[in-house]
Amino acid sequence: MDAYLLDTVNMLLRWAHIITGIAWIGASFYFVSLDNSLTPPKDQKDVDKGVGGEQWGVHGGGFYHHQKYPVSPGYVPDQLHWSMWESYSTWLTGFALFTVLYLFNASTFLIDKSLFDWSPAAAITTALAFLVAFWVLYDLICRTLGRGKHGDLVVGGCVFVLIVVAAWASCHLFAGRAAFLLVGAMVATTMSGNVFFWIIPGQRKVVAAIKAGQPVDPVHGQRGKQRSVHNTFFTLPVLFSMMSNHYGFTYTAEHNWVVLVAIMTAGALIRLSFALRHKALAFGKPVPWHFAVIGTALLIGTLWAIRPAPQPAALAGAPVAPARFADVQAVVAQRCVVCHGPALQSKNVRLDTPDELSKHAQAVYQQVVVLKLMPMNNATQITDDERVLIKRWFESGAPKN
Secondary structure class of 60 (helix, strand, coil):
coil
Write the CB contacts of 340 (distance below 8 Å, at least 6 apart in sequence).
Answer: 346, 347, 349, 350, 351, 352
Return d(Cα 393, Cα 325) in angstroms, integer. Answer: 7
CA 347 to chain centre: 23
- Whole-number pLDDT of residue 314: 46
Could you tell me the pTM of the whole model?
0.84
> Measured at the alpha carbon of residue 31, what is the angle toward residues 268 and 79, in degrees to the nearest 5?
155
Secondary structure class of 88 (helix, strand, coil):
helix
Residue by residue, DSSP assigns 241-275 as: HHHGGG-HHHHTSTTHHHHHHHHHHHHHHHHHHHH
Phi and psi torsions of 345, nearest 5°: -115, 75
Phi and psi torsions of 62, nearest 5°: -135, 170
Surface-to-core class of residue 258, CB atoms within 10 Å of its CB (0-12 exposed, 13-18 middle, 19+ buried): middle
- Whole-number pLDDT of residue 388: 87
Return d(Cα 303, Cα 309) in angstroms, integer. Answer: 13
Tell me the sheet residues that pair with 54.
39, 67
Return d(Cα 160, Cα 152) in angstroms, integer. Answer: 12
Return d(Cα 301, Cα 222) in angstroms, integer. Answer: 37
Ordered by start, the domain boundaries in the chain are 3-36+71-305, 318-395
Phi and psi torsions of 394, nearest 5°: -65, -45
Phi and psi torsions of 153, nearest 5°: -70, -40
Mean pLDDT, 10 residues at a time, over the chain (401 residues)? 77 94 93 92 90 92 91 86 93 95 88 90 97 97 86 93 98 94 97 96 93 90 90 96 90 94 97 92 91 97 89 52 81 86 79 86 85 78 86 85 73
- Whole-number pLDDT of residue 369: 85
